[in-house]
Structure 1
Amino acid sequence: MERWDLYTRDRVKTGQTHIRGEKLPEGLFHLVVHIWLKNPKGQYLISQRSADRPTFPLMWETTGGSVLQGEDSITGAVREVREELGISLAPEQGELLFSTVRDWVDGRRFGDILDVWEFPFEEEADLGKAEGEVCDTRWAGLSEIERMLESGELVGTLSYILKPKA
């Protein structure tokens, strides 16, 4: 059973927790992380979701997921990469690119505060050490990521990666 801490829209921890799969209370949010691993060539390591995933099976994405109860954002980011890709990252190498509140997206309640992280990385994933959520990985540049978004091969909620950094 996965538990999440609940926050206000302003990222104040409420002291309440939430069980994954239950209806999220209106006006409260949980913390989610997306992690982009970038090599010196400017490419990003993207992953293909396993066929048995309940949402977006076999689609390409960046690593990410919900931050668990008691974790902070960077701890959740490092854990997600280890679980999904079998990669151990040093937290101090991460750069928080931005954070945003996503109450509703395309008519569906997300109810999350999304932190987007970037880490330098140039090796390959070790799916043998991962937990089976991912079936393949590959490196892709921004133009390929844009093409994959347009063709529907990449999870659409990742389109923010194409916006210029402030």
Structure 2
Amino acid sequence: MDELIDILTDNGEPTGTRAMKTEAHRKGLFHPTVHIWFYTSDGKILLQKRAENKDTHPGLWDVSVAGHIGAGENILDSALREIAEEIGLSISETALQKIGIFKSVQKHSESLIDCEFHHTFLSELKFPLEKLTKQESEVNDLKLLSIKKLEDELLHPDKSKIYVPHSQTYYSTIVSEIKKLL
């Protein structure tokens, strides 16, 4: 779905301009997104398998919930909206812990260059997996995976191919921050 988004400089500062998401991706314009990583008290991480019809990384395992921040939309409101849309959970702002903003540039093709700043949050998942409702157009599957298994698979050249290729620094930071909370 196309949507109007705010355009940022390559340092993450607002430019005061807006564009449709497809245009931002076509031109490689920086824009803000939200990433929410859910974890359980017993050391598991909720992963989302991206829908097969996605234009970037179809069918790969990724962050629990992610999405573009709409033009003029508050970051926390965007995070809460995406959580409700993608996995059917309604949580409070206080359940989200922001751990940083991560710059990401992924060139998928000449006409699809994804330049994003991920506003990244952690939240403890206090609901059983069976209670989550997938947004069929975005999410193919959901699973809980132990932190240890995720770390091992991300370091293995063949096994890591099932995950969206975020930077190793990004994945390491997520895992490290979750471990601090356990």
Same fold (TM over 0.5): yes
Deviations 1:18-60 (A, max 9, x none): 1011145979521011110111112111111222222222211
| Deviation at residue 87 of structure 1 after TM alignment | 1.3
Considering fraction of residues, name the structure with more helix: 2
Deviations 1:67-111 (A, max 9, x none): 111212222111111111111121122111111233x34787432
Identity percentage of aligned residues: 23
Q: 1:55 & 1:9 partners in 2: Cα distance?
A: 21
C-alpha distance after superposition, 1:125-160 (max 9, x if no partner): 5326x3531121111122221244331111121642
Cα distance in structure 2, aligned partners of 1:94 and 1:43 = 17
Does 2:171 align with 1:153? no
Q: Structure 1 residues 155 and 25 mapped into 2: Cα distance closer, same or farther (>3 Å)? A: closer
**Structure 1 residues 77 and 18: alpha-carbon distance in aligned structure 2, compared to 1, 3 A threshold:** same
> Which residues in structure 2 correspond to 1:41-60 (within 5 Å)?
41-60=42-61
| Aligned-CA RMSD value | 2.6
Q: Distance in 2 between matches of 1:60 and 1:21?
A: 23
* Structure 1: stretches of 5+ with no match in the other structure: none
- Match for residue 172 of structure 2? 162
Please, which moves more after superposition, 153-162 or 105-114?
Answer: 105-114
1:89-128 mapped onto 2 (5 Å cutoff): 89-102=91-104, 104-105=105-106, 109-123=113-127, 124=129, 125-127=131-133
The answer on whether the counterparts of 1:9 and 1:27 sit within 8 Å (CA) in structure 2 is: no
Give the count of matched residue pairs.
164
After TM superposition, the score normalised by the length of structure 2 is: 0.76
Name structure 2 gaps, 5 residues minimum: none
In the other structure, the counterpart of 1:139 is 144
1:70 aligns with 2:77: no
